Homo-oligomer: A and B are copies of this chain.
């Protein structure tokens, strides 16, 4: 630091970091005052500006970490972390087997310790055996560690009641987001009217719109049916694809099941209809199934697109191109920080598989610790293993609590005048519709904000609760929503819901 001080005294020091936020002229004035060196040239025009930057990146919007969340960060209120699907909230892992296996993989010396269960050690040994240099610290193959891909394939086969999965069709990824972006990147082509159209649900998880924007593809919206528990209606898909054909080449159909932010779980019939539609319209299917373990409504069940595809017979199972995504971030483990995920591809052209591996190899490999995390998620203890009972209790507790909170949230929101909430059949969010009075809409316009952004900002300022406005996910014009996670512990969630209720009633009165 002495040397830095000397540099500054000699007039060679940097501007202080705090000056970045100021205008160019004040920065220049400061520079001239402090540095006394050719002040007239101390700030040239920058090369990289909003005007010169990649316009496709500029057009990206990403509400889940947008202004509301930034504002929450500034306010740093106790409840700010409700904003994301942060998990586990409680500081420790939901299932103790997870950190045990991860620690053993991380520091193999611990394999000699008597304080780890034998099945945790067995898992760790299996993973390490397959890693380069028997270490999570080595690069893996770009497609992912072989034995982990085998475990994923075995998991899918069990999940789908025996429909076989091929490890060669499994690609480990840096979270599901990475897989989705990668496959979209390969799919997008053409210019003008033959530019690739990508069909996405509205409301959607904003990764989709962001990646479509980055790739300069055409976003084709299909609306989920809010009146019908956010169900997907194939007639709406037909409308959307017909309209899109006027200005682009619809080539991809994205499905989120269970839905984010909408939480609906698609029926088997609906999935069959969607697959038939994709077959008819020659669409590549992207099935975002990261919430496959998060189904709460007793009358709902998760059906994978792949399983339904195979059950529909070879005309479909040999023809429909499908990529399905899963992640370590959801389910009952919720280990988001490790950025583990996989995609399974079906009917991908062998040459395209080569292209996919090439593209993945440019980033060398997904984090090997995330790959190990994925292995633990798809390879839970079975009866007879040392960890089985504790694990089963933990899993039941997490999923039971989520189901309880899903019901609690739906019920409480529906007691509030001006809020309507569909059943949270699955996933981790409520996406209630909120009534915003005309006067509040006008107040929002005066602040150049979307009305639901205005609402959410007020909620944050007045209660410290951070929810994401529906406009960030897309919604039918004139309707307003917000997304709230149900991850906080039950008692905390009750407090939050009560606060939202009080705020809402107050808001309605204020802008009546």
Chain A residues near B (Cβ < 8 Å): 1-7, 11-15, 17, 20-21, 31, 35, 37-38, 41-44, 46-50, 52-55, 57-58, 60, 62, 64-66, 73, 81, 84-93, 98-100, 102-103, 106-110, 131-142, 157, 161-164, 166, 168-169, 174-175, 177-178, 181, 185-189, 206-207, 210-211, 214, 251, 282-284, 310-315, 317-319, 321, 329, 334-339, 347-353, 355, 358-359, 361-370
* A54 close to B186 (CB less than 8 A): yes
In the bound complex, residues from chain B placing their C-beta under 8 Å from that of A189 are: 52-55
User: Which chain B residue lies CB-closest to A306?
Assistant: B14
* B313 close to A363 (CB less than 8 A): no
Asked if A92 meets B135 with Cβ closer than 8 Å, knowing A99-B106, A174-B363, the reply is: yes
In the bound complex, residues from chain B placing their C-beta under 8 Å from that of A169 are: 17
A90 to nearest B CB, angstroms? 6
The one of B73, B85, B103, B361 that contacts A106, using a Cβ cutoff of 8 Å: B103
Asked if A314 meets B7 with Cβ closer than 8 Å, knowing A53-B355, A185-B54, the reply is: no
* B177 close to A363 (CB less than 8 A): yes
Beyond A1-B164, A15-B314, A44-B319, 13 extra complex contacts between A and B, CB < 8 Å: A3-B163, A13-B314, A15-B318, A43-B318, A47-B251, A47-B284, A50-B355, A57-B359, A86-B132, A87-B138, A100-B107, A136-B337, A367-B369
Residue among A12, A47, A89, A103 with the most chain B CB within 10 A?
Answer: A47
The one of B13, B132, B282, B317 that contacts A310, using a Cβ cutoff of 8 Å: B13
In the bound complex, residues from chain B placing their C-beta under 8 Å from that of A321 are: 46-48
In the bound complex, residues from chain B placing their C-beta under 8 Å from that of A339 are: 174, 364-368
In the bound complex, residues from chain B placing their C-beta under 8 Å from that of A136 are: 337-338
The one of B11, B168, B282 that contacts A314, using a Cβ cutoff of 8 Å: B11
* B84 close to A139 (CB less than 8 A): yes
* B310 close to A65 (CB less than 8 A): no
Q: How far is the CA of A221 from the CA of B67 in the complex (A)?
A: 40
* B337 close to A54 (CB less than 8 A): no
Q: How far is the CA of A364 from the CA of B174 in the complex (A)?
A: 11
* B361 close to A62 (CB less than 8 A): yes
A67 to nearest B CB, angstroms? 10
Asked if A92 meets B108 with Cβ closer than 8 Å, knowing A314-B31, A337-B139, the reply is: yes
Residue among A20, A169, A321 with the most chain B CB within 10 A?
Answer: A20
* B12 close to A48 (CB less than 8 A): no
In the bound complex, residues from chain B placing their C-beta under 8 Å from that of A102 are: 106-107
User: Which chain B residue lies CB-closest to A153?
Assistant: B17
Q: List 20 A-B contacts (CB under 8 A).
A: A3-B163, A12-B314, A14-B317, A14-B318, A15-B314, A20-B353, A31-B318, A38-B315, A42-B315, A46-B349, A53-B186, A53-B187, A54-B187, A58-B355, A88-B133, A88-B135, A88-B138, A93-B137, A138-B336, A214-B359
